[in-house]
Structure 1
Amino acid sequence: MMEREGPLVKAFVELADTLVADYDLIELAQRLVDDCVRLLAVDAAGILLAAPGDGLQVLASTSEQTRLLELFQVQSEAGPCLLAFQTGVVVLVEDLTVEPDRWPAFAHRAIQDGFHAVCALPLRLRDERIGALNLFSATASVLSPEDILVGQALADVATIGILHQRAATRSETINRQLQTALNTRVIIEQAKGILAERRGLDMDKAFGQLRAYARTNNLRLTDVARAVVEGATDMAPLLDGSGL
């Protein structure tokens, strides 16, 4: 635990720094899942967020494979992440092959994708639940109590980031903000596809290029993605690779 104290403190400071006016929710969520893989004994992570009146949707993931697995979980309406969201408690599955009948479709798909253990952490503030964080491991293993504690703390930071304006804003406005974030995710997926096709990249590398370009040019990820989708001429350096 002491070996990661420095990186852990740095991660929390960086997450806290994003909680400013007009912060980018997508980038906050993406940083969270990246930090989980970097700091915890897991191989992939994803966040599902409750969309107003429309079930759960994928907000962030560490890879295209993980995003598709999260989507599959939502579409099959069964899995540890959904249970964590519904109950507000941690769901820990040490070996998906031991209880394959618990969530047969999800377990089969996860094992096919190379994941054998999963820990789902609720995004919740007291009695309010807004989603869940999924942590995937390639090997059947027990996530340590320390890792679960850190993972839940990171999830709590994300929850606060999403809901921190609730005290000053009516619930309908928060719902519109959450829906806007989810709509923005659709634009980012479109931009990933355009960049992947234009430059012959896989989806993970295309997403990495979008984020790198946004950071290098001090731009919001969502603005870069929208410009790519709209065919803005100033995105030429990104699309042809000359700007990275």
Structure 2
Amino acid sequence: MSVTREEQLIDAFVEAADTLVADFDVIEFLHTVAGRCVQLLDVDAAGIMLADQYGQLHATAASTESARLLELFELQADAGPCMEAFRTGVQVVNADLGASEERWPRFAEAAQATGFVSVHALPLRLRTTVIGALNLFCARPGDLGEGDVRTGQALADVATIGILAQRGLYQAELLASQLQNALSSRVTIEQAKGVLAERRGISVDEAFNLLRRYARNHNLHLSELARQTADGTSNAVELLARPQNTTVSPEGPDSA
């Protein structure tokens, strides 16, 4: 039986409720939100940038490797829609990349070279607090509808609430430390993706999907499994050796 858009959006809010516990995997949660965006909106890829305690943005989650690399390029160029949405707290919607060469010349060129023709950026904001931004990439011409913009902002709000909810469980200093650890674990995850892709002869996206499914099926934190995969120890031995014949969506086996 097919799942309606409304049911998928409800699922996203239910997933946010999981953040109200101490044992909370920020990276996995944000990847799930990015995947939900591609499911629910008329976009081809999504990425999330999150600020650390110093206000510096980091590419934290993405639905595809190409989106992640484009966000890294945006950070390097220090200009682009996600940076603008974060700095202003205002949505950047229906930005035609062909007409944005003066606004963000380096980003627009890189995005078009990747195959995207338009981009949208929504702030991760709760009232006056902005902690990051959500990037939405489109490979097809046309504006994002008003309903999709509202839904996209709702998903950005879900991510924001999920992260800021930790302040009800931790002191501000501990929250800052947790966010910093989550950002640091991103480096380990990238290393693990590369190791797994090379060992299995699969794409980086497929390697990441395999990591996520294995972590879920074995009740492991994604960051811990990534560390073991990069080191070639413990649980990762089975992951690196066992043949894999199916491709898993970024949202996991229960997302349909």
TM-score bracket, shorter-length normalisation = over 0.9
TM-score by length of 2: 0.89
Distance, in Å, in 2 between the alignment partners of 1:192 and 1:53 is 27
| CA spacing shift, 1:3–1:216, aligned 2, 3 Å | closer
Instruction: Give aligned pairs, total.
Output: 243
Check 1:86–1:54 CA distance in 2 against 1; reply closer, same or farther (3 A cut): closer
Tell me if the contact between 1:45 and 1:135 (Cα under 8 Å) persists in the aligned partners. Answer: yes
Between 1:5-14 and 1:21-30, the stretch displaced more is 5-14
Q: Which moved more, 1:165-174 or 1:202-211?
A: 165-174
Segments of structure 2 that go 5 or more residues without pairing to the other structure are 246-256
Indicate the percent of aligned positions where both proteins have the same amino acid: 53
Q: Where in structure 1 are there 5+ consecutive unaligned residues?
A: none
- Cα distance in 1, alignment partners of residues 159 and 51 from structure 2: 13
Corresponding residue for residue 89 of structure 1: 90
User: Following TM superposition, by how much is the alpha carbon of 1:3 offset from its aligned partner in structure 2, in angstroms?
Assistant: 5.0
Could you tell me which residue of structure 2 aligns to residue 31 of structure 1? Answer: 32
Which amino acid is 2:156 matched to? A
Which piece of structure 1 moves more, 47-56 or 199-208? 47-56
Q: Deviations over 1:176-232 (max 9, x none)?
A: 111000011111111111111111111111101101111222222122111112221
Deviation at 1:21, TM superposition (A): 2.4
Shift of 1:173: 1.9
CA distance in structure 1 between the partners assigned to 2:57 and 2:118 by the alignment: 21
Answer 1 or 2: higher relative contact order, Cα 8 Å, separation at least 6: 2
1:199 corresponding residue in structure 2: 200
TM-score between both structures, scaled by the size of structure 1:
0.93
Contact 2:80 2:107 in 1 (8 A): yes
Deviates further, 79-88 or 153-162: 153-162
Cα separation, 1, equivalents of 2:168 and 2:4: 38
CA contact (8 A) 1:73 1:79 kept: yes
Give the Cα–Cα distance (whole angstroms) in 2 for the partners of residues 98 and 234 of structure 1: 49
SS at match of 1:191: helix
Deviation by residue 1:15-48 (Cα, 9 ceiling, x = unmatched): 3335432111111000000000000000000001
Aligned-CA RMSD value:
1.8
Moved over 3 A (4+): 167-170
